[in-house]
Amino acid sequence: MISWRKHYKKGLIAISLLLSTGASVYAQGDPKKGQDLFKANCTACHALDKKVVGPALGGIVDKLKKEQNLDTDWLHKWIINNDKLRASGDKYANQVYEENGKVAMQVFEGKLTEADVDDILAYTTNPPAEEPAADKAGDAAATDMQSVQADKANQLNSKIMVAAFIAIAGLLFWLLLKIRQLVKLQQSPELSELNSTRITSFSQLYEKYSYVGKALVALLAIFALYGVWNWLMWIGVYKGYKPEQPIYFSHKIHAGENKIDCQLCHSGAKYGKVSEIPSLNVCMNCHRSISEYKGKYLEPGKDREFYTGEIKKIYQHVGWDESKQAYTGKTEPVEWTRIHNMPDFVYFNHSQHVVAGEQAIINGFNAKQKDPANKIDVVCKACHGKIDTMNVVQMANNFTMGWCIDCHRTTEVDMTNGYNKEYFKNLHDKLKKQYGEGSKITVDAIGGLECGKCHY
């Protein structure tokens, strides 16, 4: 009897060990290796703790065991080739496919080995604690020169402003002193005797109405300060103007780090007058699946949580329920602050410059650059500067009439491109006669200085 009891106990222990946790079964897998494999192959569609495109995968081994009585063999088959498993008529494989809107998961046959799958499953069962982002400090050290320079410029601006205020205050004070001296002089007995009636009456007048004078001086001071302030603000509204936006959208991260083409978002530039700010639906083409910031680049003072929070703002505005992966229908438009804005009496057309003038502008701009680092590849940069290095868009030029004219005077028109060849055929022949074969034809020669071309 005693020996049976002993065996019974051993058996129990063995069985409970076998059943205990999924993890013990995949002790063979390496969760650290699994983490890397998961990041490289699965994070586009899966997270451990929430549904992305596919279901959450944290503890998936236990879950399938408990709810579907499926073992890791099924998981291996599914992960390596879910297509084949579904085609074989496997009930749960087809069920999970239906439940997820029939979005097919990628097939990993030939890409992942059985051992890799073990590692991944070990990771989903026992994810190692997130390491503190070690590269953060390094990234932060890689300071973003652009923003530092901009900040310096801003500091300089406010320094100039303070200096201007002090100078004006000093000037006014000096004036006041001078006036007082003058009045004192006029009040002095010698003078009043010398110049009896008129000056005494003046000083009397002054004494009587001195508060009017002081009030006038004060008023003048206020006007002067207001003028200086406005003047400085006016400078700010041109070159260097960079307002805060409701979503911290970084061109450096999109157009720079991720090399997204300007015209993917500003698609209007090709077709007409305005470039347009993209609608949130354009953002959602990518951000439906990019719900977190995992990029290497960090602007000094910002962390990944900050960027992720900004991405969530898109969802809030566009009415996207992440957990259900569906639109709620509740939207609130984003109000971007407009940065470039020509007065109403000016006509500026993007497509004229971005399509017809593209090569001419790129060539003309690059010809003027002494430093090869300043050369451009994208036409937009000739006017908007290196937007792909800016976290916050900043006006890179003055956008004044002189600026337009200056470029028109110096940029040679590309008479060989399809657009100009057709459009300007007759004019071109005339110009050739007028200026001689092979001479430079700049934009002013085709009417780029005519008032009516730029003014309504």
Burial of residue 382 (number of CB atoms within 10 Å: 0-12, 13-18, 19+)? buried
Question: 90-119: which residues touch ligand HEC (CB under 6 A)?
Answer: 96-97, 100, 103-106, 108, 112
Contact flag: residue 70 with ligand HEC (CB under 6 A): no
Q: Which two tokens stand for residue 156?
A: 């300089």
User: Considering beta carbons, is residue 57 or 203 the nearer one to ligand HEC?
Assistant: 57
User: Considering beta carbons, is residue 197 or 281 the nearer one to ligand HEC?
Assistant: 281
Q: Quote the least distance from Cβ 193 to ligand HEC, whole Å.
A: 58
**Span near ligand HEC by CB under 6 A; candidates 5-13, 15-23, 159-167, 306-314:** 306-314
User: Considering beta carbons, is residue 103 or 160 the nearer one to ligand HEC?
Assistant: 103
Site pattern 115..154 for ligand HEC (x: CB under 6 A): -----x----------------------------------
Q: What distance in Å separates the CA atoms of residue 204 and residue 187, rounded to the nearest whole number?
A: 9
Q: Quote the least distance from Cβ 111 to ligand HEC, whole Å.
A: 8
10: Cβ–Cβ under 8 A, 6 or more apart, which residues?
none
Contact flag: residue 265 with ligand HEC (CB under 6 A): yes
Q: Which of 235, 336, 427, 432 touches ligand HEC by CB under 6 A?
A: 336
Q: Which two tokens stand for residue 198?
A: 């008129």
Task: Spell out a b/e string for 82-104, using b for 16 or more CB atoms within 10 Å of the CB, else e.
Answer: beebbeeebebbeebbeebeeee
Contact flag: residue 65 with ligand HEC (CB under 6 A): no
Q: Which of 15, 153, 346, 367 touches ligand HEC by CB under 6 A?
A: 346
**Span near ligand HEC by CB under 6 A; candidates 163-171, 173-181, 185-193, 383-391:** 383-391
Q: What distance in Å separates the CA atoms of residue 50 and residue 63, rounded to the nearest whole number?
A: 14
Task: Spell out a b/e string for 12-44, using b for 16 or more CB atoms within 10 Å of the CB, else e.
Answer: eeeeeeeeeebbebbeebbbebbbebbeebbee
Q: Quote the least distance from Cβ 225 to ligand HEC, whole Å.
A: 24
Q: Which of 29, 241, 350, 441 touches ligand HEC by CB under 6 A?
A: 350
Question: 275-294: which residues touch ligand HEC (CB under 6 A)?
Answer: 275-278, 282-283, 285-287, 290, 293-294
# residues contacting ligand HEC (CB under 6 A): 107
Straight-line distance from the first to the last Cα atom of the chain, in angstroms, rounded to the nearest whole number: 108
**Span near ligand HEC by CB under 6 A; candidates 182-190, 197-205, 261-269, 325-333:** 261-269
Q: What distance in Å separates the CA atoms of residue 446 and residue 356, rounded to the nearest whole number?
A: 13
| CA angle in degrees (0–180, nearest 5) for 284-45-314 | 25
Q: Which of 47, 379, 441, 445 touches ligand HEC by CB under 6 A?
A: 379
| CA angle in degrees (0–180, nearest 5) for 45-49-53 | 20
Question: 310-329: which residues touch ligand HEC (CB under 6 A)?
Answer: 310-311, 314
